[in-house]
Amino acid sequence: MNATGALGQYGERLAVRRLSQAGMTVIARNWRCGRRGEIDIVARDGDAVVVCEVKTRRAGTFEHPSAGVTPAKADRLRRLAACWLDRHGAPPPGGIRIDLVGVLLPRRGAPVVEHVRGVA
């Protein structure tokens, strides 16, 4: 695994911890829908299914993690959410939501983990 992959996995572990602390239940990680792509985390939040994109960045090196969800990425996440529903049944009573967990790693100190609901 390269440094970028290790950074991404670390961010996903922090995201799972944050979502769990918020009372959500993670039901899948790195779920693939053929060549269409991958959902980083699928979770339940009450009676809703949450498709969660995780963006991890080092402070000062790149843009803020939330800038990583471009309109094209949002469209792709919506298609992946539809693929999840196709393979796992009808939408749950609470529907499906797309969230972002941004992880910012400062040069010093603890990571900053931000959960943004309903980004797409």
Domain that holds residue 10: 3-116
Domain CATH code at residue 52: 3.40.1350.10
Q: Could you report the per-residue pLDDT of 61-117, keeping only the tens digit for each? A: 656 777 778 889 999 999 999 999 999 988 899 999 999 999 998 888 999 999 999
CA-based nearest residue to 40, from 60, 10, 70, 67? 10
pLDDT value of position 62: 59
Confidence of residue 8 (pLDDT cuts 50, 70, 90): confident
- The pTM score is 0.90
Q: How many domains does the chain contain in total?
A: 1
Closest CA to 50 of 75, 31, 25: 25
- Render pLDDT for 14-49 as a digit per residue (tens, 0 to 9): 999 999 999 999 999 999 998 889 999 999 999 999
Distance CA 95, CA 44 (A): 10
